Amino acid sequence: MEGDNSSEGASCGLTPEVLQQQKAVLPWFKAPKSAGENEKLRDWWTHITYVKMVVVVDHVRYVKSGRSKSRVLKDVMQVINAGDILCKQLSIRLFVIGLEIWTEKNFINITNSIAPVLNAFNAWRKSNLLPRMYHDVAHLFAYQWFGSSLGLAYIGTVCDKHWAAAVISFTDKKVSVITITFVHELGHNLGMVHDKPDCNCRRKKCIMYENNVDTDSFSDCSYKQYFELVVNGAPCLRQPPAPGSFITGMSEYCGNKIVESGEQCDCGSAASCRRDPCCRTNCTFTAGSDCASGRCCKNCKVLPAGTLCRASTGSCDLPEYCNGTSPQCPLDVYLQDGTPCNDGVYCYQGKCSSHNEKCQRLFGKYAKVAPLDCFKAVNTQGDRFGNCGIRDNIYFEKCSTKNVLCGRIQCENVVIIPFLQNHVTLVQTPVRGKNCWGLDYHVGIPRADVGAVEDGTPCGKQISNSLLLYLLQCLPSPHVFYVFFNSVREMFMNLFCHSLTPKEKKLHFQSPLVLCLYLIHICDTQTGKEQVLQ
């Protein structure tokens, strides 16, 4: 099949003989399945998992791509992004945390026999790649025909530093063919074997069918096999990648609806630009236009200074106004953390949070915070109904006595049952004649945890009036810093702000960010430089 650009009749390299060889050596086929672990992790079935992978591209593919690293990156990310879409049906997200391109030579011998290539790549991966770049799995994308084989992977080896590898034939075949091959081999890494005749999906054939097919669905058998992998191990899949640690594959270009360097605006496609009176298809303003987007842009003109562009969201937030020169609303600022905002409550990150406010937001105006006994009884359990966080993204932590008010919210006097989204459960716990109401949370689902006590909430007068919740712990209140900040603010207002009205003083100096900018302004004016803050 070498030199043939067709994929008809091509198949996965995992033949029955190769499968038997893998069964003899791979831990996945030998490890006992723990019933206890199953019980702990069985509710992870519908939760998001994260595959952090490294892609290695061979030298021939680099040469065939005109020795352009940018083109290689684009081609690889096109396959990965398409694969990510296919994997979403299993709640799997794919992240490329590393891309290595062999620009000078291949570091292993790549022939048309795929099994030896996989063995050689895995040996190189363990000795060379893994010490440099930790990963859940690594795939070699090679410009090589392997007879009738399109790819080969070790089964159930994701997270296994000894075996987490696969090889993909990355030739001039259609992107759709390469994508299905990539997802198929990744499926093997995730514990899936080839579909048998009684395996079904919404298509005639499914992704794990042994021969290459045009499909977009995993079978019921693949779902079951992947579930078995998740509940019996593969802990790395439950850890999301660190922000900024993965490759997005995004490149700057006019037409992506993102204003980038060298562009005045970006209206997207030609059809979108025809509906945009402010921006042309070449990412420049239309005649007479000064802006095309932003809260301070209206009818292609920048709004006058003083126009409200972001209203205050509460007693701890400040409004923002257009400055008359920029189409963008200024940075969102709020009152200094520790500013008193209610009886015994202090501002934190722009919010005035309390247990009572949280209960009323969840269960209606008649609800109120439950007695301390409720928090002690529930949050010291260390399960999804009562906890102070999660360890390793799997195991719930019990709250200490000091931190019981920092775990799951507990309310009483509940007369309204809220509308709940999927995977959120309303829990009623009887404690000493009281009904304690709360919400559980399934870690791993892409939704905010509405049942957790929020950072900045006072830990309660029952324990200490000077402690606030932060990262599920009772810590000293920033109110002490607020007192110091307030005295510094008053000093600078008296020294430098005689011309400001009381309202202007409040708007200018309620935020530490604004105070810092004003200090910069003072230094600049004293050295004769232009004022940076009016």
Give the residue from 150, 234, 131 showing the smallest Cα distance to 190. Answer: 234
Q: List strand residue ranges (DSSP E) for 26-144, in order.
A: 49-57, 92-101, 137-142
Please tell me the distance from the alpha carbon of residue 534 to that of residue 532, in angstroms, as a whole number: 7
* 135 annotated binding-site participant: no
The strand order across the sheet containing 92-101 reads 11-12, 149-153, 165-169, 137-142, 49-57, 92-101
Is 320 within 8 Å of 330 (Cβ atoms)? yes
Which residue is listed with tokens 């890494």? Answer: 189
Q: Is 184 annotated as a binding residue?
A: yes
DSSP string, 309-363: EE---STTB--EE--SS-SSPPPP-BPPTT-EEETTEEEETTEE--HHHHHHHHH
185 as an active site residue: the answer is: yes
194 is annotated as contributing to ligand binding: yes
Structure tokens at 149: 């084989």
Find the length of the chain: 534
Place of tokens 């096999």: 225
Q: Choosing from 185, 263, 320, 454, which is the catalytic residue?
A: 185
Three-class SS state of 391: strand
Structure tokens given for 423: 């995977």
Binding annotation for Zn(2+): 184, 188, 194
What amino acid positions are annotated as catalytic residues? 185
